[in-house]
Amino acid sequence: MTDVTLSPGKATAAVKRPTGASIGPRWSNALFVAPYLAFYLALLVYPLFKGIWMSMLQSDMFDDTSKFAGLANYYRLFNDKVFIGSVWNTIWFVVMTVPAFVAIGLLLALALNRSDRTSATLRAIFFGTSVLSVTIVTIIWKMMYMPGNGAIAGIMRFFGMEPLAFTTTASLALPAIAITTVWWIIGLPMMLFLAALQQIPGELYEAAALDNASRWRSFWSITMPSIRRTLLVVVIYEIVAQFQLFGQALLLTQGGPNNASRPIVLFIYEQGFRSWNLGYAAAASEILFIIMAVAALAQFFASRKRVEE
């Protein structure tokens, strides 16, 4: 330890830079974040800008002679009925699924927020579907939806009803995919809500009980404010995730019938891998990116404003 003497007149000369914890930037510390930063730049930032650049090119999958097309791909997209349809399909799908994830996930979490064996088993069962691959999930639901020998058709016939053709009827195809998706991954929001519920101190509920607060009142005044941040995480995560609907639509309906269930990612896939039109597919990807960013940010700011109020 350096002994510093601050005598008058010699103070300036005597003061030395303290050792130990340094003050000011120490660039060698950047090494700690360098690996992450390198991957972040290579795998996220670079592809983002490369994608923006590609969206302004007229290029195909195997052609190295791409030419600059400016905003032509975007102009073409906004005049493409199939793309516009896929945008509305995707938004409608998000509107159907995100509230369902929040409501059903929260209900399941509230119902299973107990330490008995039955609740633990049910938690495992509800989360169990999340580990299945999209292929397995769609095979299961194809068997459910088949109008001839499907399980739902059998139930409907038992009650004397005419079976519905879920995947081949324009008005039912997207809701059918939404039901499949909610069944598939309801486990994650349920677990997130459960984790949040278990953080709420029991004393709060005891105090509320002493004040004769109803269960409904406790839910609104204790539970909901306590899990507010988790709610925000679930909503934003699900918005971002469900805008990227792809596998279920590809395997269950292939976007049909009559474009009724084609999401944006399926449109991008078809343009890129089937029509080999990479520039056009990249432009559609950028539109999807903007829509997702706007939706997630809007939800974030709306929730933050409510919290501040």
Partner 1 sequence: MRKLSTVLLAGLVVTAGAGAALAADKTEISVSRFFGACEADYGSVTDVTKANGECGIITALINKFNAESTTTTVKPEIVEWPGYDQLTARIRSGEPPVISVMHEAVISDYSSRGLLEPLDEDFAKAGIDVNDMTDAARQGVTKDGKIYAMPFDTHTWLWHINLNLFKQAGLVDEAGKPILPKSTDELFAQAAQFKEKTGKPYFISTLANETAFYTRTFDTLLYQQNADFFADPNKVNFSSPEAKGALQLLADIYSKDLTTKNQDYAASVSSFAAGDGGVFICGTWLIDTYDQEAKKDGALANGYAVTAFPQIYPGSPRVWADGHSWVLLKQDLSDAQRASAIEFMKFLWDNNYEWSRTGHLPIRKSIIDSDQFKNLPHRADIASLAVNGTALPSAVKRQFSIQDIEGEEVGSAMRGDKSVDQALTDAETRINELLANAK
DSSP 146-170: -TTT-HHHHHHHHTTPPPP-TTTSH
Q: Which is nearer to partner 1, 147 or 175 (CB)?
A: 147
User: Pick from 161, 258, 302, 307: which binds partner 1 (CB under 8 A)?
Assistant: 258
Cβ closest to partner 1, residue 168 vs residue 218: 168
The Cα–Cα gap between 307 and 109 comes to 23
Residue from 260, 283, 287, 288 in contact with partner 1 (CB under 8 A): 260
Q: Which residues of 171-201 are buried (b: 16+ CB within 10 A; e: fewer)?
A: ebbbbbbbbbbbbbbbbbbbbbbbebbeeee
Rounded distance between C-alpha atoms, residue 235 and residue 237, angstroms: 6
Task: Identify the CA nearest to 66 among candidates 289, 282, 309.
Answer: 282
Taking CB under 8 A as the criterion, the residue among 113, 119, 226, 254 binding partner 1 is 254
Residue 12 in tokens: 């300036």
**C-alpha R_g of the chain:** 27
Q: Which is nearer to partner 1, 85 or 291 (CB)?
A: 85
Residue 277 near partner 1 by CB under 8 A: yes
The CB-of-251 to partner 1 minimum distance in angstroms stands at: 9
* Residue whose C-alpha is closest to residue 89's, from 251, 255, 253: 255
| Interaction of residue 276 with partner 1, rule CB under 8 A | yes
46, 78, 88, 273: which one binds partner 1 (CB under 8 A): 273
Residue 282 contacts partner 1 per CB under 8 A: no
175 or 256: CB nearest partner 1: 256
**Single residue of 90, 97, 167, 248 touching partner 1 by CB under 8 A:** 167
Shortest gap between Cβ of 145 and partner 1 (angstroms)?
A: 9
Angle at 177 between CA 240 and CA 140, to 5 degrees: 120
Q: CA-to-CA distance for 256 and 260, rounded, in angstroms? A: 5
Residue 226 touches partner 1, criterion: CB under 8 A = no
Write out the residues near partner 1 by the rule CB under 8 A.
58, 60-63, 76, 80-82, 142, 146-148, 165, 167-168, 170, 252-260, 269-270, 273-277, 280
